[in-house]
Structure 1
């Protein structure tokens, strides 16, 4: 009952139609299903989330929306196929990633669950309630009467298709193409798009193995005649394709992950296998419309390169690659790229590279679904790797598709350019804020380290060079594994210039193709207790994905730990001085 003694009922926009009932799991914190929910059990594994340890199967989770990884769609699809999905889902904002997972389940497997969006004022009234019904354009308690209509009623279809678009939906094209086009147009209508546009390239994140459903979907597309029609790169996969046998990873899962990659390559995608496609030679240019998935890649493309992409969910990425068409919505539109929040960063003299992931993580918390513009960093001169680290951490805690930094990123030469002249709310980031993030990653300091994990996102050639400088003349502790994930192209570069051999002589192990969000044991040693990383992204996702304790330090601190066998004893001096 609400404050007036009446059972709850409110109108809702239905992103996916249907009717279901279940116990309510309420949270005001968004959740990334990838790294946040186990697809084999339905249990929330994100250690930092309020629903940690609870099972979503048969329940009605209500949260602001998704966040973080684009692979959440694949996790939800696997939950649906496994019979472990929520009964329904309720959000306070339009949500694309999880919705796409349900759309694919409907289109390919004939299974579904309703997804509803409540007005934020109605959403907060859900807290404390026991169970919910979703359907009939309403969210309501079982003993209430559904309420329909109002501003939240599903919008009128405004999508105008060209003759070519209609051909792509017809029986004259391969089955994979028409299926892909149905999915693209469904998502375009949910976005409120008036038309579709051509894209110059696609980066596919759906090649990550999340279970049999991800492999089955890709093999169906390949078997139904799917062929990409624009240049298409592939994200990091779940296995080092050439060396998984010598690495000793699980044969069944490794073979499935490799088969998934092969299915995308058969459709014409390039075997780039990197979560940092902006490091490739054919990175997009400013103003170019592209369709990238993978959260850090999307944020980097929009923010640093000035290219234009929405945060495309896994599976929608390959659908766009098969059709060459994408919704004209989101960050493809000028106005949607403007900042809606100013974040003023306190001066932090003498900071090291740990500053950028800590800052990105904190800014994401301040702007969970809003594009921010940062001030106070006009003279910081961050490198591309600094911006990569910032963006990856930001994309972990925020659902926003981009950020601006005044005087740094291309669409923010001045504050007014980033805001469009609007008067915006202002939040601040202080030393104390970043120290709190550091301590959340490092509740205990000076602990024995078993593994130093670097390369989330994939290490660049420049990061490998810097790592070699820090390791030169030193000896790695025999009890610590030091492993770097990198793309094939980056490894070839550092092999050619001798850096790979130097690092391997120190004791570094390289894993290509895979990334820390996808690697399998024994790359993460089963007996290991504690992992140290310089990635804000992996510091967040690592505990849930690996089952290990994960700590955070800058790159120099990680090398020091690899030599001494212990994590840093204290925060960096710049953070506490």
Structure 2
């Protein structure tokens, strides 16, 4: 299949915009041919997932672009790194790792990227609009952009997302194209469900495991309290599977009706989800029973929104000042700045609440004690943390997490 390149693409490829852009375009062309794209399309923005230090290869790639005088051509946000640049004392990292981890984050800024360092760029001023073509990395951000906003991106991984940002172009394939956004597999919720946070996590876990490479459509989902519940659903679905787009009938913008979600075609398969299925999926996130002693609570994976903070802060009344186990809240620096400007964080230290920015507690060593149980309200955190940092996990609603922090052991259910 032939890839059609415009004059501007050829100009970049031939080095007329410098060696860094030429290298990025060369990689983008090879990638586009590999996925069978017929042409490239303009993008309105990008989100880069390469700030997390994994070793020399990623470091060298970005440094080469910097040395070549590279600069991104579209507004480009950055995902989390390995270091909290605002609270550097939080991260416990050997100097041999800290130096390149910091440098990798700084090198992206030298390419003209925005210092967002958040896995939730949709919470920033760079949030895309419905129908906009973008090139995003980070699984939860991708599924949120496609599903909740209705912007258009494929699942772009390290390096290729930055190549799109450097050229302002992306291959016209996959979810960039309308014909590929049709639902394929139907999930029907059977019975009556309250719109709890845990419900949305549970549904996400189930559709992620069962969808494989198909686009899921969910019917019977209660109207969410806010988009944070859809954020949690998408993050769980992208964690247990490869979901980059879901349609929730009557909720998400491309699924006003079941017929619209499937574009008039019949689903390839229908799977019914019962209360028992939800309970089973959620139970698998916890490795300890109620009553197990805790060493910490971790919230905000994906990053806590301003709305979630406004739900959390009143709950701290359950904790006596100066008591309670540490509560780590992962959040974007823009959200944290807004909270500080509003004076909302002046008293949180008394409740042992620790804001974390620029990174996340499951990807780097921040939590003081890793020899016990950490409680979380995040399906994504619960899924990854045992393998990443070696802790045991208890999953619960946000209210359960705070009540548990107050008493020092796992408490779930109505008080």
Please classify the TM superposition score into its range, dividing by the shorter chain length: over 0.9
Superposed, which structure 2 residues align to 1:452-491 within 5 Å? 452-472=297-317, 474-475=319-320, 478=323, 480-491=325-336
Residues 346 and 430 in structure 1, CA contact (< 8 A), matched pair in contact too: yes
TM-aligned CA deviation for residue 163 of structure 1: 1.8
1:354·1:555 contact (CA, 8 Å) conserved in 2? no
Residue 299 of structure 1 is matched in structure 2 by 143
1:241 CA drift (Å): 1.0
Structure 2 equivalent of residue 187 of structure 1: 31
Structure 2, unaligned runs of 5 or more: none
Within 1, Cα distance between the matches of 2:162 and 2:81?
A: 15
Question: Once the 2 structures are TM-superposed, how far is the Cα of residue 234 of structure 1 from its aligned partner?
Answer: 0.6
In the TM superposition, 1:539-558 aligns within 5 A as 539-558=382-401
Q: CA deviation at 1:564?
A: 1.1
Q: How does 1:305-344 map to 2 (within 5 A)?
A: 305-344=149-188
SS in 2 for 1:206: coil
**C-alpha contact (below 8 Å) 1:482/1:509 kept by paired residues:** yes
Mean alpha-carbon deviation: is it higher for 509-518 or for 403-412?
Answer: 509-518
- 2:353 counterpart of 1:505: no
Q: 1:195 to 1:300 in 2, by over 3 A?
A: same
Q: 1:408 to 1:365 in 2, by over 3 A?
A: same
- 2:401 and 2:318 map into 1 onto residues whose CA distance is 16
| Uncovered stretches (5+) of structure 1, i.e. residues with no partner | 1-156
Identify the residue that residue 532 of structure 1 maps to in structure 2.
375
Deviation at 1:479?
A: 6.2
**How many Å separate the matches in 2 of 1:513 and 1:443?**
28
**Which structure shows the bigger proportion of residues in helix conformation?**
2
TM-score with structure 2 length normalisation?
0.95
Q: Deviations over 1:315-341 (max 9, x none)?
A: 111111111110001111001111001
Matched ranges for 1:147-186 at <5 A: 157-186=1-30
1:268 aligns to what? 112
The partner residue of 2:51 within 202, 207, 210 is 207
Q: Counterpart of 1:498 in 2: which secondary structure?
A: coil
Which ranges of 4 or more aligned residues in structure 1 deviate by more than 6 Å? none
CA distance in 1: counterparts of 2:73 and 2:56, whole angstroms: 26
Deviation for aligned residue 1:212? 2.3
Partner residue, 1:256: 100
SS at match of 2:304: coil
- Selected match of 1:359 from 203, 208, 213: 203
Write the distance in 1 (CA, Å) between the matches of 2:225 and 2:145.
16
- Is the CA contact (8 Å cut-off) linking 1:451 and 1:530 kept in structure 2? yes
Partner of 1:281: 125
Larger radius of gyration: 1
**CA gap 1:333/1:351 in 2 versus in 1, 3 angstroms:** closer
Q: How far is the alpha carbon of 1:192 from its aligned partner? A: 0.9
Aligned to 2:363: 518
Alpha carbons of 1:462 and 1:551: their partners in 2 closer, same or farther (altered >3 Å)?
same
- Match for residue 50 of structure 1? none
1:382 is displaced (CA, Å) by: 3.8
Distance 2:155 2:340 in 1: 34
| Match of residue 235 from structure 1 | 79
Which shows bigger deviation, 536-545 or 436-445? 436-445
- 2-structure distance, mates of 1:250, 1:556: 35
Higher RCO, 1 or 2 (CA under 8 Å, sep at least 6)? 2
RMSD: 1.7
Question: What's the TM-score once normalised by structure 1's chain length?
Answer: 0.69
1:3-14 equivalences in 2 (<5 Å): none
Where 1:434 maps in the other structure, the secondary structure is: helix
SS at match of 1:531: strand
Report how far residue 548 of structure 1 moved.
Answer: 1.2
Structure 1 residues 417-461: Cα deviation after superposition (integer angstroms, max 9, x where no partner):
110111112111111111111221124312111110111010011
